[in-house]
């Protein structure tokens, strides 16, 4: 600005905002096609996808695999258990640990939604060339690895949330 003040950043130009917008646009059809019919939230679906790929894991493993907050995973697991779509059982190697898997009803719901989710992924992938897809995956993997292991990056993200709104 001419008077020396900095212009306010444009949120719509921010990388994180763009990534969130993309995720929301990709997930949007889920709400119209499946959420109400199957009584699922988007977090429930993410937990079901994780369990379909890696059955017999703990909730903490789902958090690590998906990047979801533990409270969101816990709520979705409890909800999916109540709906009869997820079963919890004790880990035979560590009796203190609970493992999760989709029930037959959960696998049936997953099986009815998965084809449209795969079609959506393919539609998104078609917007990029093969080379662009490789580059995008490499860039996403690099960012995920860095943010997932970099304490200063995690602290910076945590600092962006006011202390009074953070759980103690």
Write down the pLDDT at residue 32.
79
Cβ–Cβ under 8 Å, residues 52 and 114: yes
- Say what the pLDDT of residue 45 is: 94
Percentages of the chain per state (helix, strand, coil), in multiples of 5: 70, 5, 25
What is the rounded CA–CA span in Å between residue 128 and residue 69? 30
- Can you give the length of the chain in residues? 168
Q: Could you give phi then psi for residue 99, rounded to 5 degrees?
A: -115, 160
- Answer for the pair 48, 57: CB distance below 8 angstroms, yes or no: no
Write the pLDDT tens digit of every residue in 7-26. 766 665 688 888 888 888 88
pLDDT in tens, 43-67: 999 999 999 999 999 999 999 999 9
Binned at pLDDT 50, 70 and 90, residue 1 comes out as low
Residue with the larger pLDDT of the pair 168 and 148: 148
Mean pLDDT confidence for 115-140: 92
Asked if the model's pLDDT at residue 163 lies above 90, the reply is: no
Model pTM score: 0.77
Q: Which domains does the chain have, with CATH numbers?
A: 11-127 (1.10.10.10)
- pLDDT tens-place string over residues 87-108: 999 989 999 999 999 999 999 9
Mean pLDDT taken over the chain = 85
The token pair at 135 is 């580059």
Residue 127 or residue 11, greater confidence: 127
Query: What six digits make up the tokens of 54?
Result: 């890696």
């Amino acid at each position: 600005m001419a008077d020396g003040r900095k212009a306010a950043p444009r949120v719509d130009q921010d990388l994180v905002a763009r990534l969130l917008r993309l995720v929301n646009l990709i997930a949007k059809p889920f709400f119209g096609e499946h959420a109400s019919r199957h009584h699922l939230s988007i977090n429930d679906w993410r937990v079901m996808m994780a369990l379909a790929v890696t059955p017999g894991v703990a909730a903490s493993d789902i958090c690590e695999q998906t990047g979801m907050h533990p409270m969101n995973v816990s709520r979705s697991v409890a909800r999916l258990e109540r709906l009869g779509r997820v079963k919890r059982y004790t880990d035979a190697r560590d009796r203190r640990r609970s493992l999760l898997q989709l029930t037959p009803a959960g696998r049936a719901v997953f099986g009815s939604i998965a084809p449209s989710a795969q079609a959506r992924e393919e539609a998104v992938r078609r917007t990029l060339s093969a080379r662009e897809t490789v580059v995008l995956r490499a860039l996403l993997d690099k960012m995920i690895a860095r943010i997932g292991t970099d304490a200063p990056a995690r602290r910076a993200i945590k600092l962006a949330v006011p202390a009074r709104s953070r759980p103690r």
